[in-house]
Amino acid sequence: MTLRSPPLPVQSVSLQRLRLDALVPFQRRRVDGRWLLTTDFGDHAFVEDDELTRVLEGRVTPDEELHVRLAERHFWIDGLDRDLLTERVRRKQRFLAFGPNLHILVVTLRCNHTCQYCHASRARMDAVETDMSIEIAERSVDFAFETTSPSLTIEFQGGEPLVNWPVVEHVIEYARQKNAIAGKSLMFALVTNLSLMDEEKLAWLLDRQVQICTSLDGPAFLHDGVRVWKEGASHETAVRWIRRINEAYGQRGLDPTLYRVEALPTVTRLSLPHAKALIDEYVAVGCRGIFLRHLDPFGFASVARERLGYDMDAFLAFYREAFEAVVDLNRQGVDFVERTAAVFLGKILGHDEPNFLDIRSPCGAGIGQVAYNHDGRLFTCDEGRMVDRKGDATFQIGVVGQDRYRDVVSGAVVRAMSLASTLEGQPGCATCAYKPWCGVCPVHNYGEQGSLHGRMADSTWCKKHMGIMDFLMTRIRRADPFERELFQRWASPREQPHYVQPRGPF
């Protein structure tokens, strides 16, 4: 994969012959032996070398197929459907008017697992001082409800949140009561390793329509190799509860094609040779999708990085293999989605903004999400909080009970993060063909390159996104009818209204 596009094949096009005034602004990139052209409105088209030359020289006549192809994609200024494109831009950027909708409560750092990749973000089981108190929990919920966003998701993270179960229960009841007046579209998500789940807790959570998410790193030999639980069998327990919870959804009459435990893998070096086994495991336990993510550098012990880390080329090869395994499964009638692809396809084919906070411009730091540490300190996002665990409070944006919502979300750190993650202001991104669909991460830039803005030319984040989008654009261009239908389906995710809390008093 080349990181940058080679020069245009237009040695024969002198500046005097360039006729760009007939076209909307566009960027180009060499993909799959052709030129991928993209506009700032998010349309794309593939053209051959000679076609690009004729486009640039203004030698395409309206009766040509090339003219029609580019007209359908809104490349020509003449005849541009301005109303449609204005509405599209308005819809895609509507998140700018919302405010933080994701509120991550770290209710404890304690965890009974000692997973090899998160030494820096968990605490021992006797570290009770890392439990969030009821008082800080209430102040956190009060702060979250100040958001201008009409929807509000409270996500419980840790450590292992079930270790501090009384605070989880209290937050849910307290937030539901507040929402009787606030009337927001309120949801709860619990991210748990499931080791402390029991039937009583499960019934309580299901009664309150809490979404349950967990970690599953693959078959037992992979999962238990990194997710170490000295007192128990991590894989066996997680799989047993995933199946039990999915069964309970069915018993409560929920659509089994829509409501399942959401599981997430952490891809380590040990996973790389086992892409297909990982996907098969997800299907076997009843999952309907997988989110293939590169191992984050945040909160990651250097010793573990030596053992579990890998370079981006290795990840991209793994990603491509896993993606093909997922497509093959769908051909066999198994409805299963790769969610990173779905985020990009929603933008590329659906012309929508799925509001995935790490792949949007600007990113969600402080304006789309807030992370609440157990001690009441606020961070731009969970990743920013993890940097703090290493003793660097760069991404702290306030303290609950002390700082006003308005000051926090418009403070210097949040503004710096928004500027650093706005692609038009990023050298490299501003002229990249993938700008309409991409996003950058200032925390990643800071961790990898020492600055919020970073340098995309040698950023692994950029390399990952470019590699994935090169691959997806190639797959879109070559797609057969089955794949075209599949990719369109992935581009239009279904809502899950059951997780929205009923409004009104309880």
Q: Rounded to the nearest whole angstrom, what is the least distance from the CB of residue 277 to ligand SF4 in the complex?
A: 29
Which stretch in 178-186, 226-234, 248-256, 435-443 sits in contact with ligand SF4 by CB under 6 A? Answer: 435-443
Q: Is the peptide bond before 289 cis (omega within 30 degrees of 0)?
A: no
Does 104 engage in binding with ligand SF4 (CB under 6 A)? no
Does 26 engage in binding with ligand SF4 (CB under 6 A)? no
Residue 378 DSSP SS3: strand
Taking Cα atoms as reference points, which of 235, 213, 218 lies closest to residue 283?
218
| The only residue of 39, 130, 380, 396 in contact with ligand SF4, by rule CB under 6 A | 380
Amino acid, single-letter form, for residue 354:
P
Does 99 engage in binding with ligand SF4 (CB under 6 A)? no
Q: Rounded to the nearest whole angstrom, what is the least distance from the CB of residue 296 to ligand SF4 in the complex?
A: 8
Does 370 engage in binding with ligand SF4 (CB under 6 A)? no
In the bound state with ligand SF4, the residue whose beta carbon lies nearer, of 338 and 382, is 382
Q: Rounded to the nearest whole angstrom, what is the least distance from the CB of residue 375 to ligand SF4 in the complex?
A: 20
Taking Cα atoms as reference points, which of 30, 72, 73, 32 lies closest to residue 52?
30
Does 386 engage in binding with ligand SF4 (CB under 6 A)? no
In the bound state with ligand SF4, the residue whose beta carbon lies nearer, of 104 and 163, is 104
Q: Which residues within the stretch 197-216 sit at the binding site for ligand SF4 (CB under 6 A)?
A: none
Pairwise CA distance, residues 314 & 63, whole Å = 46
Q: Rounded to the nearest whole angstrom, what is the least distance from the CB of residue 406 to ligand SF4 in the complex?
A: 20
Q: CB of 373 within 8 A of CB of 367?
A: no
Residue 330 Cα distances to 183, 289, 337, 338, angstroms: 40, 11, 9, 11
Which stretch in 35-43, 81-89, 158-166, 362-370 sits in contact with ligand SF4 by CB under 6 A? Answer: 362-370
Burial zone of 224 (CB within 10 Å; 0-12 exposed, 13-18 middle, 19+ buried): middle
In the bound state with ligand SF4, the residue whose beta carbon lies nearer, of 339 and 444, is 444
| The only residue of 456, 472, 473, 491 in contact with ligand SF4, by rule CB under 6 A | 456
Pairwise CA distance, residues 361 & 355, whole Å = 10
Does 138 engage in binding with ligand SF4 (CB under 6 A)? no
In the bound state with ligand SF4, the residue whose beta carbon lies nearer, of 36 and 238, is 36
Does 147 engage in binding with ligand SF4 (CB under 6 A)? no
| The only residue of 103, 377, 435, 475 in contact with ligand SF4, by rule CB under 6 A | 435
Pairwise CA distance, residues 337 & 281, whole Å = 14
Structure tokens at 456: 């995309």
Q: CB of 109 within 8 A of CB of 130?
A: yes
Pairwise CA distance, residues 387 & 457, whole Å = 24
In the bound state with ligand SF4, the residue whose beta carbon lies nearer, of 170 and 293, is 293
Does 358 engage in binding with ligand SF4 (CB under 6 A)? yes
Residue 238 Cα distances to 111, 192, 194, 217, 229, angstroms: 15, 9, 6, 10, 11
In the bound state with ligand SF4, the residue whose beta carbon lies nearer, of 205 and 462, is 462
Q: Rounded to the nearest whole angstrom, what is the least distance from the CB of residue 315 to ligand SF4 in the complex?
A: 15
DSSP 272: G
Q: CB of 448 within 8 A of CB of 294?
A: no
Q: CB of 103 within 8 A of CB of 144?
A: yes
Pairwise CA distance, residues 155 & 175, whole Å = 12
Pairwise CA distance, residues 467 & 317, whole Å = 9
| The only residue of 117, 229, 344, 434 in contact with ligand SF4, by rule CB under 6 A | 434
Q: CB of 236 within 8 A of CB of 220?
A: yes
Q: Rounded to the nearest whole angstrom, what is the least distance from the CB of residue 200 to ligand SF4 in the complex?
A: 35
Pairwise CA distance, residues 60 & 70, whole Å = 10
| The only residue of 440, 472, 476, 491 in contact with ligand SF4, by rule CB under 6 A | 440
Q: CB of 299 within 8 A of CB of 447?
A: no
In the bound state with ligand SF4, the residue whose beta carbon lies nearer, of 130 and 421, is 421
Does 468 engage in binding with ligand SF4 (CB under 6 A)? no
Site string for ligand SF4, 394-433 (x = CB under 6 A): -----------------------x---x-x--x-xx--x-
In the bound state with ligand SF4, the residue whose beta carbon lies nearer, of 417 and 473, is 417
Q: Given the rule CB under 6 A, which residues bind ligand SF4?
A: 357-358, 363-365, 369, 380-381, 383-384, 417, 421, 423, 426, 428-429, 432, 434-435, 438, 440-444, 456, 462, 465-466
